[in-house]
Structure formats: C-alpha cells, structure tokens
Amino acid sequence: MLDYHMHTIFSADGEMTMEEACQQAVIVGLKEIAITDHMDIDLPDNPLAFQIKDMNQYLINLEKVKDQFKGRLNVKAGIEIGLQDWTLGKASALVADYPFDFVIASVHLVQGEDPYYRVYFNTRDRIKSYTDYYNQILELFQYYDDFNVLGHLDYLRRYTPFEYDPADHKIGKELIEAILNMLVQKGKGLELNTAGFRHPSRQPHPHPDILKWFRELGGEIVTVGSDAHSVQYVGYENKIALECLKYAGFDYMTSFAEMKPVFIKI
C-alpha cells in the first residue's frame, strides 16, 4: 500500500504537516509514501504562489520524519513540478541540485490559464478544453526529461463546467496516445491519481481505459497517489486503485529510490 502524491504545509494549499501526513499513513495501513509538495516555478501574476520557499528546510523536514517513522513507514523525498514552456531549464536545474527520490511532472496551465480558475473554459467547449490541455502536455514534454511520472493526465476534468459524459476519456484519443507513446519512448511513467474518485465521474486521473492503453503501448511504470492536501485523503481509495491497475494489465505498481523505479507486485 503506497501513496506517491501528497501535499503538506510546504505547499500553499496544503493543510497538514509532514508529521501529520505520516501519522495518517500509518493509521490507514500504508507502507510507503512520497511527499510531493508543489513547485510551480514563475506562475503568471503570482510567481511565488506555489513554490517551496525554502528547499533546504523542506529536505531537512523530510529527513526528520524519515527518522521519526523508521520501521513503521518508508518516507521518500518527492516533489511535484508544474511545467511551463519558459521554466523547463529551471525545473531541470532544481532536480539536479537536490536529492529527490521521486519527481512528478504536471501541467497546471495552458498558455498561462489554469482550469482551476474557470475562466479557462470561457473560450473553450468540451472538446477544445481537453485537446488544448493535451496539446500543451505534448509541447512541453518533448523538451523535458527530468521527471519520473506524468501527474494527473486529465487534470482539467476536476474543474470542467461541462456535465460528465462516460466517453470523455476518449476525447482527443490520438493526442492521448501520442502522450503515452512519448512516455514509453522516454522510459517514463504515468500516475494513477485517486483524487479523480472524488469527482462526479468516480474515475481516477486518468480513466482506467487510458491506463490500459498505456500498458498496451508498452508502458511499464505506474504509481498510485491520492493527491491529498489534508489528512482525510491520505491513501484515498487506494484499494480501488489497485483494481484499476489490474484491469489495465499491471500486476505491479512502482515505487522509487534515488529516481530509480522499483517494481512491487500487487
């Protein structure tokens, strides 16, 4: 039982300390977690909004909880980097400068607009909202390699104003397959993000069929993460996530140590 995506008070939207996250992980029966606080470099309008202000202190705190919970919980040093086309060099430098075990690379903005702020959808219908987002992923990741998994592939689904359609995961299928092929060619992985189960769709990010396409295309690396920002979501729907992995053709999940994958049978 692993949870490889969570945010503490080192993230602007985090509501739990590292110690609280670890305590809850032990309570719900997790064996290993990766703390992956936000590092969105140079955001428009508010460049420091989602940056870890003191990276050295972040890593010091991680070492502290690693020692505190040794023997009860494995704690990995992770980070979630939000990519933009003008920050790729800075993102690579950050990964090179610090001893992370695990790096999620995510896209939160399309041409400076975050779907979280619903203005993104003012000029886009259902189809264009998805295809613009997937095109942004393709444009960024062709130039970026310093990561382990792509985070929440269909992130915009969390915030879409359009009523959920069970076929939404097929929108932009050619673009999705191009993204998955790119990950396979780079030897990178895909995240199964259980926060999607909190959406009316009751589907993870991405949909299990997309995970299945990834596997059929040769994808080998897949992690499970709750994207928890508060203690009640640590390990959220972890068991259902394992069923999704089995459906997709995986008989293992992936953990990381010093940026290297370790495969764990499920």
Alpha carbons 225 and 150: distance in angstroms, whole number: 12
Alpha carbons 184 and 167: distance in angstroms, whole number: 24
Alpha carbons 150 and 137: distance in angstroms, whole number: 9
pLDDT attached to residue 222: 98
CATH class held by domain 2-265: alpha beta
pLDDT attached to residue 134: 98
Q: What string of pLDDT tens digits covers the 266 residues of the chain?
A: 899 999 999 998 999 999 999 999 999 999 999 999 999 998 877 666 688 989 999 999 999 999 999 999 999 999 999 999 999 999 999 999 999 999 999 999 998 899 988 899 999 999 999 999 999 999 999 999 999 999 999 999 999 999 999 999 999 999 999 999 999 999 999 999 999 999 888 999 999 999 999 999 999 999 999 999 999 999 999 999 999 999 999 999 999 999 999 999 98
pLDDT attached to residue 112: 86
pLDDT attached to residue 118: 86
Alpha carbons 33 and 48: distance in angstroms, whole number: 26
The pTM for the full model equals 0.95
Q: Amino acid identity, residue 150?
A: L
Tokens standing for residue 156: 């915009």
The counts of H helices and E strands in the chain are 7, 9
- Burial class for 209, CB neighbours closer than 10 Å (0-12, 13-18, 19+): middle
The domain spans of the chain are 2-265
Backbone dihedral angles phi then psi of residue 103, each to the nearest 5 degrees:
-130, 120
Q: Which run of H or of E encompasses 261?
A: strand 260-265
